[in-house]
Amino acid sequence: MISVRDLVKRFPKRGGDVVAVDQLTFEVQPGEVYGLLGPNGAGKTTTLRMILGLMTPTSGLAEIAGFRVDVDPNEVKSRIGYASATVGVYPWLTPREMVLFSADLYDVSPRIASERLDQLSELLDLGSFLNQRCATLSTGQKQRVNLARALIHDPPVMLMDEPTLGLDIVASKVVFDYIGHLRSEQKAVIICTHRLDEAQRLCDRFALLHHGKLRHEGTLDELKSATSQQGLTEMFLELLEQERDPQRKRGLV
Amino acid sequence: MPSDSVQNVDDSGNKKFVHRSMGFSRLRRLAAKELLEILRDRRTVVTLVLMPLLVYPLLGTIVQKFMLSSLSNLQQVEYLIAAENEEELAVIDRFLVIGESILNPEGMQRNRGGSQPNGSLQNKPVEDLIRGQLEAPPLIRLVKSDPDKLDEYVMLGVFDVGVRITNREALKKNPNARETVQFELVQREDSALSAGAYEFVTQRLEAVNDKWVEDVLRQQGVNLSRPNAVRTLTLKSEDEEQPALLTFIPLMLVLMTMTGAVYPAIDLTAGERERGTMEILMAAPVSRMALLFGKFVAVLAVAMLTALINMAAMLVTVYTLGLDSIIFGEQGVSALVVLTIFALLLVFAAFFSAVLLSLTSFARSFKEAQAYLIPIMLVALAPALLSLFPDLEMDVTLALVPLVNIILLGRDLIAGQVNLTLVTITVVSTLLYGFLALGTASKIFGSDSVLFGGTSSWSDIFARPTEMSYIPSMPTTMLFLSVLFPCFIVIGGLATRFDISIQKRLVVNAGVTSFLFVGLPLIFCTIFNLRVRTANLLNPPRLLGVLVACLLGVSVWTFIYEIEVYSLSETRLEVLKDVFETMKVELQKIPLALKLVCLALIPAVCEEFTFRGFMMSAFLKHTKVWVAIMATAVMFGLFHVFVRDALLFERMLPSSLMGILLGIVCVRTGSVIPGMILHTIHNGLLISLAHFENELKEIGFGGAEQQHIPMFWLAAAILPILIGFALLSLKAVRSQNPTAEESETAGSAPYRVH
């Protein structure tokens, strides 16, 4: 469903380019939740933006359902739902208006959109504030509105960037349930996060990114055997260690 | 894997996203959302409703108070006339009273004593006050001065004029004798008040003298008919001078429209970025142009709403405070004028909203947007203030200057002096600039650098593309048009100013045409790194394509000519005949070869280069085929309407029809060259026809009295036209496709035509 091949993004800077994403290749199948993990600045968000067509890659390509981002950007965009902690809401619109506006952007007919909104409202428990101005909502409520907005066109692919950032336990649980729902709906999901405990619980497969490079990829068991570490956190600490001490570099994909 | 994925999508019941052009209802819903968002914002309501509701009554009251206070200054025009002692005062008073009674026998009572009622002043309409005031006589006060200081006081301005009687001693000695009283008047240099008082006194003293002379002569029985008698009539000029406040109205409205548009423009562009909602928009399968169009409609709607509320508030204020005749003049302002001004504001608001959007699209935050806009607004204010000069006359060049043209046109509209040419140039140029701005905005709005930081956003539009492209983009085409149009008007106008022979003028015009219609596209190709051949559709034509061009070239002119004749009214025909008759005589003397080159070949080739080359390639790539043909044809027609400072609207229809035909030929043949051939033959035949008019008349063809083409000519033309169109439908007419690599990069245009 999602296929990324040799993706590279360089940012021109004085005194040499910064390589944000370096020769990244991976695939995600329908019904699979893929965790793109790494410390801040690892290139996770940049990768998502390139898949989404918000940013032009320096080289390489990304495909969704066989459509190339650079050739058919609209075919690609129409198949992706995008939720991010940094995405805001329109303060003067109500959640209902905002979600329906999104439906218009994705050319969902108003009738279907309003049916879907009812389902999503139930799933994400939006009912109590559906007709309230977004400016008055709490952070958790805003995030739920954004999750509903991202699903209104029922996309086969979901990209989530730090979906639980700034959320409390209750609000985070809504997000976890939502991801479970996505899996049951056979969607291909990519989650970018630096919260490894969460990732370990949510994802089926993982990619460990560091400095734009894919360091480890696989299921938790595969990673455990490759790195001889028990948890994702330990694997990361080891990655950072290798950074400081290149002699210890091993186990690269 | 990719094919599996597609299968999965379809199996799971997901609708395949069909990329279709934005439907009207969807565009409307997008715009409605933007509008809703803006109108719910309290800050909009403040600028939209509260501002005008406060500003105009305040402004109106200030204007009224200002006028009243300047009036009351006038009201107190009072001449202080001083003498050195009571006796002299009594003498001068006596003379003044007599003089006044001679000059103004009826108004005497009113004039004496300085006791004009002042209390009713406030309640009179301002205009009445002005009128009454100008006719009111001054107040006179006679004062006794310190004997030694009369001159000094006059000098200091304590008194306006001083009076001395120099033969006082003689008078005293012999008070009953009829001795001439010798006055000495003291006045101050460079003082209007003193000069006025001086004139007041001398007029009355002279009147007394004149009366005495008259009386003496009458007593002597002398005939009193004088050598001359003068009566003065002060006439008001016919074209009444525009009230000074007239320009102020459109200026105010334009400024208010600007303020109305600023906030929504920032909010809908930089605001999206600041709220973090820009990514939602960019992640959606909607073109930037469509998104921007929704925003444009919303900004325009708010700007127009502001304009409407402002206009209403202004009119209500003006009428309730009784300022209407001062501002609009005697004739007032009609509903039609108000409507026209509203339409004009709509054009301006469209332009300005687009400009604002293009500027605010650069910004990543509200603050940044404001930092961009404030200097721009100040710069815009300079020409706006320039238009306040009452002597500034609207002309063709000023009609091309945005903002100034709208304000001046607004002023002239209210004053009831409109020039259709200037209106058209203003509207066309303003809309063109607006399109350009919108195109620029769509290039920047949501681009990588604006979305995710980076410093390259400004340089993006100015940067020369490093990679060569094949077809001009729409923004480039809009930029091209907004450069071409003003150049066409200005340079075309310049060429006619030189007083040169018609032969030289033909050559100069041909040079101008070449520069504008071939030079400019080539300059654009260089600047924007476009491949000249593909950007101007200069593909080598097939022989069949050339044949079609020749067939249509020799035949179509008959019908185009007929349409032109039909679209002219009798009276218009007469007018044009007068205009062109002299030109025709002059043209008759010029050798046919020169005429064919300067009037047929060069205009045909050059116009095709621009309209069916540069512009057609861009439109074909970015719009539907019929839109491309119609758009280029209408523009082609429009350029034929502007001839020097006049508008020849009757040329619009035939020229546009010709444009459609040339567009079809271009699209079908895939090259601009057959059109050039067709166009040249077409022009050439019409010119030869005019050149050989006399010879043709001798053998019984045409002639001035017979404006229509003979029937059998039309009949004969039908066959080649039919054959031409039949050949056009063949695939073989299409020029050779360029290499595969090129056609892929160049997209489907212009070869996607079936």
Is pLDDT of B306 > 70?
A: yes
Residue-wise DSSP of B356-391: HHHHHTT-SSHHHHHHHHHHHHHHHHHHHHHTT-TT
What does the pLDDT read at residue B299? 92
Mean pLDDT score of chain A, rounded to an integer? 86
Contact of B448 with B454, CB cutoff 8 Å: yes
| Contact residues on chain B for A101, CB-CB shorter than 8 A | 29-30, 33
User: B2: which chain A residues are within 8 Å (Cβ-Cβ)?
Assistant: 3, 63, 65-67
Secondary structure of residue A19 in the 3-state scheme: strand
Residue B152 region by backbone torsions, left for phi larger than 0, else alpha for psi between -120 and 50, else beta: alpha
Q: CA of B624, closest CA in chain A: separation in Å?
A: 19
- Check if B33 contacts A (Cβ < 8 Å): yes
Q: Which of B352-356, B659-663, B744-748 has the highest mean pLDDT?
A: B659-663
B3 vs A contacts (CB less than 8 Å)? 66
Going by C-alpha positions, the residue among B610, B548, B554, B471 that lies closest to residue B735 is B548
User: Taking CB atoms and an 8 Å limit, are B8 and A30 in contact across chains?
Assistant: yes
Chain segment A103-157, per-residue pLDDT in tens? 989 988 889 999 999 999 988 888 899 999 998 998 888 888 998 999 899 899 9
Per-residue pLDDT tens over the stretch A179-191: 888 899 899 999 9
A90, A106, A110: residue with CB nearest B275: A90
Does B40 sit within 8 Å of A56, measured CB to CB? Answer: no
ipTM (interface predicted TM): 0.87
Query: Which residues of chain B make contact with A67, given a CB cutoff of 8 A?
Result: 2
- Contact B700/A at CB under 8 A: no
User: Is residue B176 pLDDT above 90, yes or no?
Assistant: no
Q: What is the pLDDT of residue B672?
A: 92
Residue in A closest to B7 by C-alpha: A65
Is B281 part of the contact surface with chain A (CB cutoff 8 Å)? Answer: yes
Kindly report, residue by residue over B359-382, the tens digit of the pLDDT.
Answer: 888 887 888 888 888 887 777 777
Question: What contacts B201, CB < 8 A, 6 or more positions away?
Answer: B81, B92, B96, B161, B163, B185
Q: Indicate the DSSP class of residue B399.
A: G
Measured between alpha carbons, how far is A160 from A146 in angstroms, rounded to an integer? Answer: 11
Rounded CA gap, B13 and B277, in Å? 29
- C-alpha distances in Å from residue B537, one per residue of B408, B533, B674, B735: 41, 6, 11, 10
Instruction: Provide φ and ψ at B183, rounded to 5°.
Output: -95, 150
Average the pLDDT over B167-178 and give the result: 71
Over the stretch A41-78, which tens digit does the pLDDT of each residue have?
Answer: 888 888 998 998 888 888 898 999 989 988 888 899 99
Which of A71, A99, A105, A186 should be substituted to probe chain B, the one whose Cβ sees the most B Cβ atoms within 10 Å?
A: A105
Is the model's pLDDT at A87 over the cut of 70? yes
| A89·B275 Cβ contact <8 A | yes
Is residue B30 within 8 angstroms of chain A, CB to CB?
Answer: yes
Instruction: Decide if A211 contacts A42 (C-beta within 8 A).
Output: yes
Which chain A residues are closer than 8 Å to B284 by Cβ?
Answer: 77, 102, 105-106
Report the residue of chain A nearest B291, measured CA to CA: A105
CA atoms A45, A47, A49, A51: torsion sign? negative
Query: What's residue B245's pLDDT?
Result: 65
* Predicted pLDDT of residue B645: 58
Nearest to B275 among A30, A78, A88 (CB): A88
Q: Which residues contact A123 (CB under 8 A, 6 or more apart)?
A: A148, A178, A181
| B98 residue type, one letter | I
Residue B271: which H helix or E strand, with range? helix B270-275
Across the interface, do B33 and A101 touch by the CB < 8 Å criterion? yes
Q: What is the DSSP string of A61-107?
A: EEEETTEETTT-HHHHHHTEEEEETT----TTS-HHHHHHHHHHHTT
Q: Say if residue B640's pLDDT is above 50.
A: yes
A92, B41: Cβ pair inside 8 Å? yes
Sheet holding A33-37, edge to edge: A80-84, A157-161, A188-193, A33-37, A205-210, A213-218
CB contact under 8 A, A86 and B276: yes
Task: Enumerate the H helices of B515-601 as residue ranges.
Answer: 520-527, 532-535, 543-566, 570-588, 592-595
| Gap from B476 CA to chain A (nearest CA, Å) | 22
Q: What would the mean pLDDT of B554-559 be, rounded to a whole number?
A: 88
Q: B56: Cβ–Cβ under 8 A, 6 or more apart, which residues?
A: B310, B313, B314, B316, B317
The string of pLDDT tens digits covering residues A3-48 is 999 999 888 777 777 888 888 999 999 999 999 988 888 888 889 9
**Weakest-pLDDT range from A14-28, B455-469, B647-661:** B455-469
pLDDT of residue B157: 84
Q: Which residues of B touch A56 (CB under 8 A)?
A: 448
Residue A89: its chain B contacts at CB < 8 A? 275, 277
Q: How far is CA A245 from CA A238, A248, B7, in A?
A: 10, 6, 48
Question: Which residue of A lies nearest to B267 if distances are taken between CA atoms?
Answer: A90
Q: Min CA distance, A92 vs chain B (Å)? A: 6
Q: How many CA atoms lie within 13 A of B637 on its CB side?
A: 22
What are the structural domains, with CATH classification, of chain B? 25-68+244-458 (no CATH), 76-114+122-220 (3.40.190), 483-754 (no CATH)
* B622 lies within 8 A of chain A by CB: no
Closest CB to B2 among A63, A73, A77: A63
| Cβ-defined contact of B19 to A75 (cutoff 8 Å) | yes
Q: Among B19, B40, B452, whose Cβ lies nearest the Cβ of A74? A: B19
Cβ atoms within 10 Å, residue B332: 12
Contacts of A25 in chain B (CB under 8 A): none
Whether the per-residue pLDDT at B750 is higher than 50: the answer is: no
Mutation pick from B5, B40, B452 vs chain A, by most beta carbons of A within 10 Å, is: B5
Q: Inter-chain contact B285–A73, Cβ cutoff 8 Å?
A: yes
Tell me which chain B residue has its CA closest to the CA of residue A186. Answer: B12
Contacts of A86 in chain B (CB under 8 A): 276, 279
Optimal mutation site among B279, B365, B447, B449, interface A, most CBs of chain A within 10 A: B279
Residues of chain B above pLDDT 90, percent:
11
Whole-number pLDDT of residue B116: 40
Element containing residue A15 per DSSP (H, E): none
Test A89 with B281 for CB contact under 8 angstroms.
no
Contact between chains at B33 and A154 (C-beta distance less than 8 A): no
Q: Check A1 against B8: CB less than 8 A apart.
A: yes
- Residues 446-465 of chain B with CB under 8 A from chain A are 448, 451-452, 454
- Give contacts of A13 with chain B, Cβ < 8 Å: none
β-pairing, A59-64 vs A33-37, is unpaired
In chain B, what residues touch A105 (CB-CB under 8 Å)?
30, 280-281, 284-286
Find chain B residues with C-beta within 8 A of A53's C-beta: 283
Task: For residue B14, give the amino acid letter.
Answer: N
List chain B residues with CB under 8 Å of A71: none
Touching check for B152 and chain A: CB below 8 Å?
A: no
Give the Cβ contact number of residue A195 at 10 Å: 16
- What pLDDT does B646 receive? 64
Which residue is closest to A85 within chain B, CA to CA? B276
Smallest Cβ–Cβ distance between A74 and the set B3, B285, B451 belongs to: B285
Confidence class for position B95, pLDDT limits 50, 70, 90: confident
Q: Which of A236, A235, A215, A218 is nearest to A227 (CA)?
A: A235
Residue type, B412: D
pLDDT of residue A223: 83
Residue of B30, B273, B280, B744 to mutate for A, most A C-beta atoms under 10 A: B280
d(CA A107, CA B23): 10
pLDDT digits over B482-523, tens only?
888 888 888 877 766 777 777 888 888 888 889 999 999 999
pLDDT bracket for residue B673 (50, 70, 90): very high
Distances (CA, A) of B200 to B156, B407, B468: 20, 45, 84
Res. B110 pLDDT band, cuts 50 70 90: very low
Which tokens sit at B374? 């404030």
pLDDT score at B566: 76
Instruction: Return the minimum-mean-pLDDT range out of A212-216, B199-203, B319-323, B387-391.
Output: B387-391
Interchain contact B3–A (C-beta under 8 A): yes
Report pLDDT for B589.
79
Q: Is A106 in contact with B276 (Cβ distance < 8 A)?
A: no
CB contact, 8 Å: B283 with chain A?
Answer: yes
In angstroms, rounded to a whole number, what is the distance separating the alpha carbons of residues B463 and B410? 38
CA-derived radius of gyration, chain B: 38
CA distance B37 to chain A (A): 6
More confident residue, B294 or B236: B294
